[in-house]
Amino acid sequence: MSNGICSTMTSEMTRDIVAGHGGFAEGILSAVEQIAGLSHRFVSLSNAGLEPGAIERLLRDTIAAHGTKVIFTDLPAGSCTQAARRVQRDLPELVLVTGAALPTILAYACGSDIGTAAEKGRAAQIVVEGTRDA
Amino acid sequence: MTLEMFRIDDRLVHGQVVVGWGQPCALGFLVLVDDAVAQSAWEQDLYRMGVPPEMEIIFDTVVTATARLSEYRADCRTGMLITSDIDTMVRLAAALPDIRNVTVGGVHHKPGRIARARYIYLTPEEALRLQALAACGVTVVAQDVPQGAATPLDVLLRGEGPT
């Protein structure tokens, strides 16, 4: 019982971060909510209108407030990724996943470990070319 | 092609540069001019991480960039030179009179800065430095992405840039 309570408290206290350009994070979490009802496990951040130092401060404040363990970002070259890497210098236990898309974040939200979730994201990228019937 | 784009962007190498400009303009190389980054292997790794394999990134100080500009001009690839702040670009332009066009791609909000466009905030001093640059014959425009309109400096400073 106490383990269950403890686990519940931990899951309530800890929220990971989805960060990126424009409304990327908000949109991803909207989809996570629609599919699995698990968006409460995340906080969405946007870099819109923020200079690099402000993005880094926002990340640090959010991590401190929510006990974040994992940050998902959109582009490896993005300013959120760069800010996350700067934060990682002080918090090496923090995990950063770049190029994150819905399949990765959804898999992680549903309980996959981060490596498996990333693999599921890669596996979900399929190019389907149409064919004409002869 | 050659080094033909000179950009001021406080985010330096990021999505707009690598993807937004990089793909349609087929950028082959980036010259990041920043005295601090040029001295830090860690900072260079940070920016290198986001650059695709087909794009070279070169790190320079103002001094080394000045010395190497003719080499960059002779490069057959299309290149972009980026500084994170107005002062660095002004120093470069003072040393290199053949810089004729500068694009302000992103200078975001900080205390003391006033909104001039959605992605450009300037202190009065920074606005004066851009005006001084223009007075030397450099065409200064604001433009974040290729599909966006290039806003002339006088329009930008009237606060009539993209919102």
By C-alpha distance, the chain B residue nearest A84 is B46
Q: DSSP string of B126-154?
A: HHHHHHHHHHTT-EEEE-SSTTSPPEEHH
Host domain of residue B97: 7-157
Q: Is residue B42 part of a domain?
A: yes
CB contacts < 8 A (A, B):
54
Q: Position of tokens 């819109």?
A: A48
* Chain B CB within 8 Å of residue A97 CB: no
Q: Count Cβ atoms below 10 Å from residue B80 Cβ, excluding itself.
A: 24
Number of structural domains, chain A?
Answer: 1
Domain CATH for B21: 3.40.35.10
* Chain B CB within 8 Å of residue A86 CB: yes
- Is residue A97 predicted with pLDDT exceeding 60? yes
Q: Is residue B125 part of a domain?
A: yes
Tokens of B61: 């100080």
Mutation for B interface: A46, A51, A73, A74, most B CBs within 10 A: A51
Q: Is residue A132 part of a domain?
A: no
Domain CATH for A74: 3.40.50.510
Host domain of residue A68: 2-123
By C-alpha distance, the chain A residue nearest B117 is A49
User: Percent of chain B beyond pLDDT 70?
Assistant: 99
- Is residue A127 predicted with pLDDT exceeding 80? yes
Could you give the CA distance from residue A88 to residue A80 in angstroms, rounded to a whole number? 12
Q: Is residue B17 part of a domain?
A: yes
- Is residue B104 predicted with pLDDT exceeding 70? yes
Q: Is residue B53 part of a domain?
A: yes
Helix (H, G, I), strand (E, B) or coil at B121: strand
Number of structural domains, chain B?
Answer: 1
Q: Are B33 and B88 in contact (CB under 8 A)?
A: yes
By C-alpha distance, the chain A residue nearest B115 is A49
Summarize the confidence of residues B136-149 as an average pLDDT: 94
- Is residue B29 predicted with pLDDT exceeding 60? yes
Could you give the CA distance from residue B95 to residue B67 in angstroms, rounded to a whole number? 10
- Is residue B4 predicted with pLDDT exceeding 80? yes
Summarize the confidence of residues B127-155 as an average pLDDT: 95
